Amino acid sequence: MKGPVFVALDTVDPERARSIAAQVRNHVGGIKLGLEYFCANGPSGVLAMAELGLPIFLDLKLHDIPNTVAKAVQALRPLQPAILTVHAGGGRAMLEDAKAAAPSGTKVVAVTVLTSLDDEDLAETGVRGDSHAQVGRLTELARDAGLDGVVCSGREVAAAKRLWPAGFFVVPGVRPAEAGAGDQKRVMTPRDALDQGASILVVGRPITQAADPDEAARAIAATL
């Protein structure tokens, strides 16, 4: 892997996704394909992106009953994603079944608290305590269920790493100091997130919406 930055190609347009990925391929460690891309282009769209030779982070955030999630993960096996996400809120049995169904080379990581949510949002869903406490609880659950790691914001990754020293930590909502937060509420700069314990950093719009995506990716890599 060329570095910890995975560029989030949050688009339904396969040509745009491929164009951006081709431009930044020398300055990123992989590409993240989300739910919108997968719904629009399916498994064949993922395989087409894999032809670029970069690791694929398939960010589908699977969340359903254990049997359904296990069958969904089995259906994804031919894609051989480097990283696959499920929701920690699905519970221990779902997490265990997802990991058991995944290819041996795929890291299955559990989404703890979306970076678009803050403490007030969590309270509205009935979660007691703040985001830090919830991330801690779900990190321990994912660890004990045998997953590879978790997805959490940069603000929680240091505490999560203390709970799980050997865990793999995906940090989204990463923004260079000069970039706006967009719809993310719990953000951090790439350098700070890495220093706090992130294993990989997910960067989207600061790269994909830049006038020169390659230069933007190069600039972020230089800070690391």
* From 61, 107, 161, 185, active-site residue: 61
DSSP string, 114-137: -TT--HHHHHHTT--S-HHHHHHH
Backbone phi and psi for residue 34, each to the nearest 5 degrees, phi listed first: -100, -170
Cross-strand bridge partners of residue 5: 201
User: C-alpha distances in angstroms, 11 versus 7, 33, 54, 103?
Assistant: 12, 8, 18, 26
For residues 87-115, one letter each, b for 16 or more C-beta atoms within 10 angstroms of the residue's C-beta and e for the rest, the string is bbbbeeebbbbbbebbbeebbbbbbbbbb
CB within 8 A of 92, min separation 6: which ones? 141, 144, 145
Structure token pair of residue 126: 């009935």
The region that residue 61 occupies, defined by phi over 0 for left and psi between -120 and 50 for alpha, beta otherwise, is left
* Catalytic (active site) residue 61: yes
Structure token pair of residue 30: 């992989």
The catalytic site residues sit at 61
